[in-house]
């Protein structure tokens, strides 16, 4: 792997990062001959999402009834008595 430390990113490299954002910084770095840290910095500079965004909590849109059901179910699982 050649080390491209201190070298400007080419248009092809930037496009590769944008097209393959779902891969880890390490994997992209190996393909481009860049460090994980360099890939991460470029992601932040360009506003390209990281591979980790998929693992973050994504809110679910639930009806009021679904919310109540989930709370009651979870309370029962945890043996918590709900008031009201």
Report pLDDT for 60.
Answer: 65
Would you tell me how many other CB atoms lie within 10 Å of the CB of residue 25? 21
The full set of domain ranges for the chain reads: 11-77
pLDDT < 70 stretches in the chain: 1-5, 51-60
CB-based contacts of 3: which residues, under 8 Å, 6+ apart?
Answer: 33
**Cα separation of 65 and 68, whole Å?**
5
Report pLDDT for 31.
Answer: 96
Element spanning 40, H or E: helix 36-46
34 is written with which tokens?
């860049």
Nearest to 24 by CA among 67, 55, 1, 45: 55
């Amino acid at each position: 792997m050649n080390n491209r430390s201190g070298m400007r990113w080419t248009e092809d490299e930037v496009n590769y990062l944008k097209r393959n954002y779902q891969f880890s910084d390490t994997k992209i770095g190996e393909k481009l001959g860049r460090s994980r840290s360099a890939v991460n910095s470029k992601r932040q500079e360009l506003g390209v999402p990281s591979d980790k965004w998929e693992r973050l909590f994504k809110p679910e849109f639930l009806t009021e009834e679904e919310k109540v059901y989930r709370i009651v179910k979870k309370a029962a699982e945890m043996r918590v008595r709900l008031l009201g």
